[in-house]
Structure 1
Amino acid sequence: MKKRLVVIGFIGSTLDFVGKGSKRWDRWRPTISLCHQPSLTIDRLELLHDMHSKRLVERTRDDLHLLSPNTEVRAHFNPLKNPWDFEEVYTSLHDFVRQYPFDPVNEEYLVHITTGTHVAQICWYLLTESRHIPGRLIQTSPAKQDDQPAAMGKYEIIDLDLTRYAKIAHRFKEEQAQTFAQLKAGIATQNPVFNQMIEQIEQIAGKSRAPILLTGPTGAGKSFLAKQIFQLKQQRQRLSGKLIAVNCATLRGDSAMPALFGHIKGSFTGALQNRPGLLKAADGGVLFLDEIGELGLDEQAMLLKAIEEKRFYPFGSDHETTSDFQLIAGTNRDLLSEVAAGRFREDLLARINLWSYELPGLAQRKEDIAPNLAFELARVSQELGEQVRFHTEAKQRYLAFATHPSAKWLGNFREFGASITRMATLAEQGRITERIVETEVTRMQKQWHRPTTDLASIYLKDAAEALDEFDRIQLNGVLRVCESAGSLSDAGRQLFAVSRTQKKQANDADRLKKYLAKFGLDWERIHPSI
């Protein structure tokens, strides 16, 4: 048995309205033209209308009865306050579709998209493409042939089954693959955790402007990934501003507030002119705050207001300024532990933790060391201005060392990149030999097996790998004194025994406290029971 044909659509308050006289039959009317088509036998026409189109629907029904007496016309009152409001139109049509008694076994459905606002046409498309409406789209238009009645017009049925269009589907897959490659900087990874993370970031980068939190050990690639996210959003024209990146570990003491939020002239000694600050510089773009856990509580409070309200006060100013930026935050600290210790605001963590991603360290991605090796070698070759390659045996030796279970990679990709840079720089005529690899292996093994007296590694953990040897030696000496001292003041007196005699007021405890704070340390962390 042949299925009944049902057409659903709006009455055209402009296109269907051509007057009441007999000349209306000489004019093209999209709804009337549906029943003018010899190849279409419409059994039922569902017409949606508002209060102003009620009489037009009645006149159209009468004309359709004359033209196609077997076509049943049903009118549906659809009150829209604003037919150009996407949310209102979609909600209204969605409700209509949900309650409509579709019977696809016995009926075939066409959705007429010629009438109604452009917003309505888009909504019809979305509801049909998503299969909320089990049918296809139909579009009518005036006839162009002179031998064809003007009132008849023509029609085209649009099939939304994209699986039929292999080229389009293939193009979508290619674009998605290019996006993944961009976020991974072209490195083919086999790590399932990293791949899943990149796939979700690709999805939200084009939709959401909510904060993104990147966690993971130092050198895992948080800064690099933040840059790639920015470039992806820029490519999709989701941004109009710049990427402003700052390491919060460099924003300490009195300089942090003015640097972040700006300041006005004369607000403090040395403020010779107004400065907009980093948040204002990121207006319309992305603000990447690496090591956000290093910010003080006052700066955290102002940052929370700036994220939520897009408004803040520059340092020393009574007038608010605005900045609409997307925040990407990075940290190697456990922020939940920092909240428990009172060093990080719980409300700020809740605000920036909507999209949170933990980057695995290199030790957890050893299957990716080989492709990363090629990537890093190409990068260093470009920097050096010459092509550098491994001898076959040298490459095998280095990969065996780098992927061995005992390989710690404490500094992660930063440490790995430094290792490749050293070997490429020492390469003989652009070739990395086994001798160069053995020297590097020895160096790395010695670095990974420092004695436990390296207190900097004990207290700073992965962050210690970013220290210069000069700072490491000095910090180890300070920590040894602190561990043996009975109080902060006692440790300060020992450390500043000479210089304190040259000061009118020797504030040893304050000097030591500020020194430890440079590395994110405090006395309570060294002596938790005191």
Structure 2
Amino acid sequence: MKPIVVIGFLGTQLDAGQGAGRWNKWRPTVSLAQHDDMVVARIELLHTRKHTALAEVVKADIAAVSPETTVNLVPFDLEDPWDFGEVYTRLYDWARAYPFQPEREQYWTHITTGTHVAQICMFLLSESRVVPGVLAQTSPPRKQRQGDAGKVALIDLDLSRYDPIARRFDADQRDAVAFLKSGIATRNARFNALIDEIERVAVRSRAPILLVGPTGAGKSFLARRMFELKQARHQVTGPFVEVNCATLRGDGAASTLFGHKKGSFTGAASDRAGLLRAAHQGALFLDEIGELGLDEQAMLLKAIEEKRFFPVGADKEVESDFQLIAGTNRDLRRDVAQGRFREDLFARINLWTYDLPGLAQRPEDIEPNLDHLLALHAAENHRVVRFNAEARTTYLRFAQSSEAIWRGNFRDLSASVTRLATLADGGRIAVALVEAEIARLRWLWKHEGTGTAAATGDDVDLEALLGEEKFAGLDLFDRLQLEAVVRVCRQSRTLSDAGRQLFQASRTQRSVVNDADRLRKYLGKMGLDWARVSTDVRP
């Protein structure tokens, strides 16, 4: 058994007493050395200098009852023992300088003595493992008798040792993840791993968070759910403030965000607080942050780093402490390289960046989202609507195919479900209604200019990619096929995403699925690789 080392404060009241009668009362520090079944090797006794005489008496009494115990008196003066900041800082500095040897000794932090502030600080230092030990709580005997040491209770703050607590934390985390996903049982492994991490960051960090993804991928919805999760845990007291930066133009952009002083420009008839101040103690969601002008970007950087900024036309700074959540469908790395986005601001908001996949990259999640949207429609309209079996199969077959590009992502899916549920007679969605909806979606996406080379605005120049000689040696069939493959690659963020779309049907028939490898081999056969064909990829 490792030698026991106790760290604690002298109890100026509980440990007091210098006459012979002191042995008739229970003294918590002395009692630590009065247990026959345990020997304390050393006590680090913290005390103020004005109580040095009492500390010397306690040291001598411990030596009398337990000669094996060494007592080190540690002078510890405080200007205000009830000032949490002072007490914690002094204790922290002392603990960081102390030569702990946990491989050779075991440490008990005695929390029975000292002010309540000191006890709290000792608890926090043990919980954070600055003091690598357990808490020791001493208590007096039921009937006071000379020499009765009372009891010592040890509390290990390593929560992993307590299975019921660990299970409770696991359950809380699962509940939080389900909350972020609105209870939708999503099946996409990449998306689920992403949400798991976002949950941990949301409740542990106040640093900026950047959500990247195509329009309709759920950035705004996820930002609000993150805020609501923090709100439920009493981590924020202010509001959730949301603004789409694409709607901010000209002089009004800075005024909207940072506020202005009366008369600072034409039309400024009164003071305006601005959205950053409105978000004080809450969260500010700046959607499409890449649309901000460079001047606004500079002002935002100062506001994030210093929590203060100048409203337009003001000569005095104002303060606002908010958490920033930003969203964009642009590749900010490219914008930085091209001078459209400040590198220092990007570095500041890029600590936690999450790339939300579009609906087409999560075909397995369409079915649970379909059920979720039908349930929402029933709750809002007090009318339950269901697919018949054949209609559901027909809709999902199309919705999960490469033909369904879901350009608007969840906005497209939500609109589609709303149309089906509204038009369903008798609360049943039949095949004819599904076929009409599929035709509508095909028309919609074609009308919006998607699904063809001209429509995507991404004409593929195969001759430039392959070289004149190799291009001339390709049949028209191979040219058309390769053009389509390259186009999908340029619309995808990763090789795996592109492969998943291109092999969406055949992948279900394989025991081992490696879409990325299949696509890599196809490109290699054509003398190409991912880096070369994806150079024009857009967010």
2:457 matched to 1:458?
yes
Match of 1:256 in 2: 253
Structure 1 partner of 2:480 = none
356 and 81 in structure 1: CA distance in 2 versus 1, 3 angstrom threshold: farther
Change in Cα spacing, 1:432 to 1:96, as seen in structure 2 (3 Å) is same
In structure 2, give the amino acid aligned to 1:112.
Answer: H
Identify the range of structure 1 (163-172 vs 242-251) with the bigger mean alpha-carbon deviation: 163-172
Deviation per CA, 1:478-514: give whole Å up to 9, x if none. xxxxxxxxxxxxxxxxxxxxxxxxxxxxxxxxxxxxx
Question: Is the contact made by 1:9 and 1:111 (CA closer than 8 Å) also made in structure 2?
Answer: yes
**1:159 and 1:208, CA in 2 relative to 1: closer, same or farther beyond 3 A?**
closer
Per the TM alignment, residue 301 of structure 1 is displaced from its structure 2 partner at its CA by 1.7
Residue 151 of structure 1 deviates from its aligned partner by 6.7
1:188 partner SS:
coil
Classify the secondary structure of the residue corresponding to 1:386. coil
TM-score by length of 2: 0.75
Describe the shift of the 1:273–1:132 C-alpha distance in structure 2 as closer, same or farther (beyond 3 A).
Answer: closer
Equivalent pair of 1:142/1:150 in contact (CA under 8 Å): no
Assess if the C-alpha contact under 8 Å between 2:11 and 2:29 holds in 1: no
CA distance in 2 between counterparts of 1:160 and 1:318 reads: 50
Does the 8 A contact of 1:11 with 1:57 survive in 2?
A: no
1:229 counterpart letter in structure 2 = M
| Gap change, CA 1:236 and 1:299, over 3 Å in 2 | same
Match of 1:207 among 196, 201, 204: 204
Query: Cα deviations across residues 131-169 of structure 1 (Å, max 9, x unaligned)?
Result: 7877643311233436x4497443323355656644333
Q: Paired residue for 1:35?
A: 33
Please report how far the alpha carbon of residue 311 of structure 1 lies from its aligned counterpart in structure 2 after TM superposition. 2.0
1:188 aligns with 2:185: yes
Q: For 2:94, which of 92, 95, 101 is the aligned residue?
A: 92
Name 1:297's counterpart in structure 2: 294
Aligned counterpart in structure 1 of residue 270 of structure 2, from 258, 273, 284: 273
Alignment of 1:109-120 (within 5 A): 110-118=108-116
- For structure 1, the 5+ residue unaligned runs are 460-530
2:61 is the counterpart of 1:63 = yes
> Contact 2:15–2:58 (CA<8 Å) still a contact in 1?
no
Matched, 1:344 2:341: yes
In the alignment, the residues of structure 1 paired with residue 173 and residue 297 of structure 2 have an alpha-carbon distance, to the nearest angstrom, of: 36
Q: 1:263 to 1:116 in 2, by over 3 A?
A: same
Q: Equivalents in 1 of 2:103, 2:114: separation in Å?
A: 22
Deviation at 1:10, TM superposition (A): 1.8
**Alpha-carbon distance in structure 2 between the residues aligned to 1:456 and 1:157:** 70
Aligned amino acid, residue 8 of structure 2: F
Q: Distance in 2 between matches of 1:336 and 1:206?
A: 27
Does residue 1:46 correspond to 2:43, yes or no? yes
Give the CA deviation at 1:118: 4.8
Amino acid corresponding to residue 33 of structure 2 in structure 1:
C
Q: Secondary structure at the match of 2:426?
A: coil
State whether residues 289 and 326 of structure 2, in contact with CA within 8 Å, keep that contact through their aligned partners in structure 1.
yes
Q: Which residue of 1 aligns with 2:172?
A: 175
Q: Which AA in structure 2 matches 1:458?
A: G
Match of 1:413 in 2: 410
Distance, in Å, in 1 between the alignment partners of 2:2 and 2:14 is 25
1:427-454 residue CA offsets vs partner (Å, 9 max, x unmatched): 1121111111111112222333456799
| Structure 1 residue 19: Cα displacement | 3.3
253-262 or 116-125: which moved more?
Answer: 116-125
Which residue of the other structure, out of 425, 447, 469, is the alignment partner of 1:428?
Answer: 425
Residue 16 (structure 2) aligns with = 18
CA-to-aligned-CA distance 1:96-125 (integer Å, 9 cap, x gap)? 253x36436xxx664433234556545655
Q: Which residue in the other structure is 1:145 paired with?
A: 143
What is the aligned partner in structure 2 of residue 197 from structure 1? 194
Match for residue 287 of structure 1?
A: 284
**2:371 is matched by which residue type in structure 1?**
A
d(CA) in 1 for partners of 2:108, 2:303: 50
Q: Is the 8 A contact 1:377 1:389 kept in 2?
A: yes
Counterpart Cα distance in 2 of 1:123 and 1:73: 24
Q: Find the aligned partners of 2:381 and 2:39 in 1 and give their Cα distance.
A: 73
- Shift of the alpha carbon at 1:86? 2.9
SS in 2 for 1:206: helix
Letter in 2 for 1:185: S
Q: Name the CA distance, whole Å, in 1 between partners of 2:453 and 2:444.
A: 11
Q: How big is the alpha-carbon RMSD for the aligned residues of Structure 1 and Structure 2?
A: 3.0
SS at match of 1:429: helix
Q: What is the aligned partner in structure 2 of residue 486 from structure 1? A: none
Task: Pick from 224, 232, 240 the counterpart of residue 243 of structure 1.
Answer: 240
Task: Determine if contact 1:29/1:151 at 8 Å carries over to the other structure.
Answer: no
Q: Where does 1:159-170 land on structure 2 (aligned, <5 Å)? A: 159-160=156-157, 162=159, 165-170=162-167
Greater shift, 14-23 or 426-435, is seen at 14-23
The farther-off stretch of 24-33 and 265-274 is 265-274
Give the Cα–Cα distance (whole angstroms) in 2 for the partners of residues 8 and 239 of structure 1: 38
Residue 92 to residue 191, structure 1, CA distance change in 2 (3 Å): farther
Distance in 2 separating the partners of 1:161 and 1:297:
48
Show the counterpart of 1:447. 444
Q: How big is the shift at 1:394?
A: 1.0
Deviation, structure 1 residue 457: 5.1
Q: Which residue of 1 aligns with 2:504?
A: none
Shift of 1:229: 0.8
Give TM-score, length-normalised by structure 1.
0.77
Q: Which residue identity is paired with 1:380?
A: H
- Alpha-carbon shift at residue 207 of structure 1 (Å): 2.7
The residue identity in structure 2 corresponding to 1:441 is: I
Q: Call closer, same or farther: CA 1:149–1:21 in 2, change over 3 Å.
A: closer
1: CA distance between counterparts of 2:286 and 2:13?
55
Q: How does 1:323-362 map to 2 (within 5 A)?
A: 323-362=320-359
When the two structures are aligned, how many residues end up with a matched partner? Answer: 450
What secondary structure, in the 3-state scheme, does the structure 1 residue paired with 2:136 have? strand
- Residues 351 and 395 of structure 1: CA distance in aligned 2, closer, same or farther (over 3 Å): same
1:164 to 1:318, Cα distance in 2 relative to 1, 3 A: closer
Structure 2 counterpart of 1:394, from 391, 394, 401 = 391
AA matched with 1:326: Q
Whole-Å separation in 2 of the counterparts to 1:289 and 1:192 = 28
Relative to structure 1, the CA distance from residue 255 to residue 41 in structure 2 (aligned partners, 3 Å threshold; closer, same or farther) is closer
Given that 2:8 and 2:46 are in contact with CA atoms closer than 8 Å, whether structure 1 keeps it comes out as yes
Quote the residue 1:522 is aligned against: none
Matched residues in 1 for 2:108 and 2:304: separation?
47
1:8, distance to aligned residue in structure 2 (A): 1.2
Q: Which one of the candidate residues 360, 368, 373 is aligned to 2:370?
A: 373
CA distance in 2 between partners of 1:204 and 1:150 (Å): 52
| 1:300-331 deviations in Å (ceiling 9; x for gaps) | 12222222222222223333322221111111
Distance 1:319 1:371, change over 3 A: same
CA distance in 1, matches of 2:162, 2:168: 10
Question: 1:261–1:313: 8 Å Cα contact kept in structure 2?
Answer: yes
Residues 360, 14 of structure 1: alpha-carbon distance in 2 compared, 3 angstrom cutoff:
same
1:456–1:309 distance in 2 versus 1, CA, 3 Å: farther
